[in-house]
Every structure is written in structure tokens, then in C-alpha cells.
Amino acid sequence: MALEYRNELKYIVSSLQIAILRNRIRPLMALDAHTGTKEKYTIRSVYFDDYRNICYLENADGTSPREKFRIRIYNADEEVIRLELKRKEGGKTHKDSCSLTFDQCQAFLTGEGMSCADGYPPVLQKFILKYRTERYRPKVIVEYEREPYVYKAGNVRVTFDTDIRSSNRVEAFFEKDLFARPVMPTGSHLMEVKYDEFLPDIIYNSLQADGLSQETFSKYYLCRRYNIGGVKKNGL
């Protein structure tokens, strides 16, 4: 069965550009229903890599295809925990995911891991195999504030990610007040545009702004670069 991919475009934007673009798309797009009254939410992900740092190095080299595993929570809440596998190929992305219990997540964070069992989702079985055979372990926490907008035609999603920050205290993944340090210059943020087969002209035209150019950008790669101690070719 062929994988279904989505187009993904990334742009570095200033606070002023976000304000301009927000005013343009708000009459056209709806805020994601999960944002609540704050009109944004906090995303916190812990990324995994093997003992060779293969995910980091493939990101640095622009390898295609490449894959990354992460565990994600929202607003530092342990009620909803998602294991995600993101695959990137030729500028497009595919994502598989499944739910984890708190105890399952803790097992992966502490190094205990899990054993495969019938009935587990395929993405979890694949992760367990990587964890046990290739020594995938948690490497870095990536956290940011997300303001997401959606548009039904083309399944379009436009997000503004601000205050992108990093922590190497993976054992503190569920702490409400996790200390994390900024990894981008003050006033620099990320806009992502995701869609299926086509980007409607009305959305494309509303996202045009002076000085805006598409970038190759990975939060995981950036946060690992800024992680204490850095990354070496032969391991941490």
C-alpha cells in the first residue's frame, strides 16, 4: 500500500510578518478547534536517535528519504501522549502515529523499553524494534507555542510556531515548568504550510509577503545543534 504524503513548506518569519499574515488569513481560515480560548497551544516533543546519531546526520546531509521518531504531548498534559513517526521524502512528508500510555512513555524515556506484542499498532512495533536493536534513545526535547489555522479545500494547515526552545533534560519531559532555552534569535519564528494535492490560490496569495522565502528547516536538527555538548560523528 502506497504511503500518502503531504506537501510541507517552511518559512522563517518575523513577529511583524506573523502579524501581517495573521490578519490576511483570519478571514479565510479557521483556528484549529484544539486551541481553546488562548488561540494557541504548547507542543512538547522528545526526539529519539540511535547510538550513531543517524537521524541527526541524515538531517544534516539532506538524506531522502529519512525518518524520525518522537513522542509528543500538548500543554504539558500527560492525558494525551502520541508516538509519531515522520518520514520525509522529496520535500513531502508522511506521518504515522499511535497513542501511548503514561507508563509506556516512561519506559522509553528511562531506557527500559518494551517488548513487541500482537495487537500493537505497526508504528509502535517498528519503534520497539528500533529501540531494542539500534538502541534508539531520547536525545532532546523540543518545545514551542503553535498558532494553527485550517482550510478544508486541499486540507491546508498554516501554523505559526513561536518561542522555539530546547532542553536536554529528557527525564523532565512531563514537568509543567520545564526549563528550556531559546534556539532562534529574538523575533525569529517559523511558519509551516501543509497541504495535500494542491494549495488553493486564495491561500497562496494571502501568504505572500516581502522578504519571505522558503527554507529548509528542522526543529530537531536545530535543537540538537544547540544542545549542551553538541553532536559528534561517532556519538554523544
Model pLDDT for residues 37-75, shown as the tens digit of each residue: 889 999 999 999 999 999 999 999 989 999 999 999 999
Grid cell at residue 123: 508504528
> Cβ–Cβ contacts within 10 Å for residue 134, how many?
14
Beta-bridge partner residues of 50: none
Q: What is the pLDDT of residues 82-101, one digit of tens each?
A: 999 999 998 899 999 999 99
CATH superfamily of 6-225: VTC, catalytic tunnel domain (3.20.100.30)
Prediction pTM value: 0.93
Contact at 8 Å (CB) between 223 and 231?
A: no
